[in-house]
Amino acid sequence: MLPQLLVLNLALLQPPGLLRVQSRLSASRVPHLQAAQTPAEFKKKPKQQQQKKKAGGPAQQPKKKKEVSRYSESVSLPITAFSQRAEATKREPQLQQFWQEQRTYERLVEDGTGEKFVLHDGPPYANGDLHIGHALNKILKDFINRNQLLEGKRAAFVPGWDTHGLPIELKVLQSMKSKERASLTPLELRKKAAGFAQETMAKQRASFQRYGCWGFWEEPCAPPR
């Protein structure tokens, strides 16, 4: 008897408007919940289909045909041979070859009628391959020389290398075995260092040209031998 009285008292405490709202909500939501069906992708597939899938591998879905837009024939796009891709690995060597064949840099220096511009360049050591520091240094200086050329000045860049002994000799010694170093005379070390320096300068010169830096690379400042 006591639980029934409690339920009756709680029902009396609720306002009549709230009861009507709750009854409407329950009447509107319940049919939708009952009518809702489980999506097809979440339904369990029959055992036969599952076994076929395991035996024959993943089921392949048929490819959808590409839909042709009705606006494709009405859009007028520009027709040009200019490539949308940069293709720098192909285009840059072709452009640099064109500069060399047309003597672009030499003609700009020869046609310069302004005052002479001299950029004092700290040359790199001829003791190894180039790295990002060399690229940053030389490319920024190339910006300056090109700007001066466009202003009509005579900005002739003559590249050079630092070939003094110690860094190159250390590089040569590091490439030798301990027995060879023990029997090495000073004159032999100098000859090996000179040959290593010449090879390194040729590699670095090719790399600087590949960076696109302008200069008289075929007539560099000859280091002392």
* Residue 165: predicted pLDDT: 80
Vertex 151, ends 149 and 154: CA angle to 5°? 45
* Residue 44: predicted pLDDT: 55
* Residue 77: predicted pLDDT: 78
How do residues 15-58 score in pLDDT, each as one tens digit? Answer: 555 445 455 545 444 444 444 455 555 555 555 555 555 555 56
What CA–CA distance (Å, rounded) separates 120 from 141?
Answer: 10
Buried b (16+ CB within 10 A) or exposed e, 82-118: eeeeeeeeeeeeeeeeeeeeeeebeebbeebeeeebe
What CA–CA distance (Å, rounded) separates 193 from 170?
Answer: 9
Residues of the chain under the 70 pLDDT cut: 1-59, 222-225
* Residue 63: predicted pLDDT: 77
* Residue 73: predicted pLDDT: 80
What CA–CA distance (Å, rounded) separates 208 from 192?
Answer: 24
* Residue 55: predicted pLDDT: 53
Cβ burial, residue 50 (10 Å; 0-12/13-18/19+): exposed
Match 């008897």 to its residue by tokens: 1
* Residue 64: predicted pLDDT: 77
Domains of the chain, earliest start first: 89-211 (3.40.50.620)
* Residue 93: predicted pLDDT: 92
